[in-house]
Amino acid sequence: MFRLITGIAGPSGFGSASTAEQVTQGIDATNLTVLITGGGSGIGFETARVLALRNAHVIIAARNIESANEAKQLILKDNKTAQLDVLKLDLASLKSIKAFADNFIALNLPLNILINNAGIMFCPYQLSEDRMEMQFATNHLGHFYLTKLLLDKMKETAKSSGIEGRIINLTSVAHLHTYDEGIQFDKINEETSYSDTKAYGQSKLANILHANELSRRLQAEGANITVNSVHPGLITTNLYRHSSIFIKTLKYLTYILWKNVRQGAATTCYVALHPALKGVSGKYFVDCNEFEPGTFATDKDLAKRLWDFSNKFVDAA
């Protein structure tokens, strides 16, 4: 907590006060193609901006194409040589995800880095078009399916280029506040027991479990791809539009702990690009430093069960 408040750097040399530009200073991402979901606003936009600044080719995948194109123009205004493309993606729709993946693969681009950044938070109870609780559908299943569809492309890119691929799942400290069983597999769509905050925590726990299980599987097959989870910190973005009065009041009272967007994108950019993390996989990062997640997040049996549950759902859709 002291380090969070003061911004004092950790073992990596960076801390909560570090910005995305600072943690990538001197890194040249030329010849790297990065796909980021939700790159049109908030920390996703800042991540896209900084990665483009470091000469990566950035693909912004977004549900709101108009907003994403506006974001693209904002980046180009200050960085006229930035390589940016925008593609439509609705993570709450498996049909949209499949169409996106088909469109991306048809472009015949490499894919070095996948950043599963987009998300929703504290939403009122609702189901996705595929009949899944919306926060779980968007935050976890959407990214699970997207990653599955693009994984072969990432393997091909890593093999042909000799450059390590990296997958980053954005999660949250909220993974500590979930349902009693961690993931409510048997009651995932139950409205009577629904809690907007616990459902969010459940989806963020799923992000870590997904990253850990995928990391284990890729390591077992010798693939040159790492997978890690990132908690960006407490950041003022439009994610909080569904927040209760209590959460908004708590946010006001704890303002000293909150980051700005440039600080909020730092850990994502650090894990995506920094050479110090070569070969590092299956880890959880906070403030650009490795951190120990909650007990559920390190449960290998839970991770395996979630993997099987998620596969079964997306394959049946």
Catalytic residues: 194
CB burial of residue 78 (10 Å; 0-12, 13-18, 19+)? exposed
Residue-wise burial string across 270-305, b where 16 or more C-beta atoms lie within 10 A, e elsewhere? bbbbbeebeebbbbbbbbbbeeebbebbebeebbeb
Q: Measured over all CA atoms, what is the biggest interatomic distance in the chain, rounded to whole angstroms?
A: 52
Among 187, 147, 145, 178, CA closest to 293: 178
Question: Apex CA 224: angle with CA 220 and CA 225, to 5°?
Answer: 90
Check residue 279 and give left, alpha or beta (phi > 0: left; psi -120 to 50: alpha): left
Cβ–Cβ < 8 Å for 213, 306: yes
Strand boundaries in 80-221, DSSP class E:
83-88, 113-116, 165-170
3-state secondary structure of 309: helix
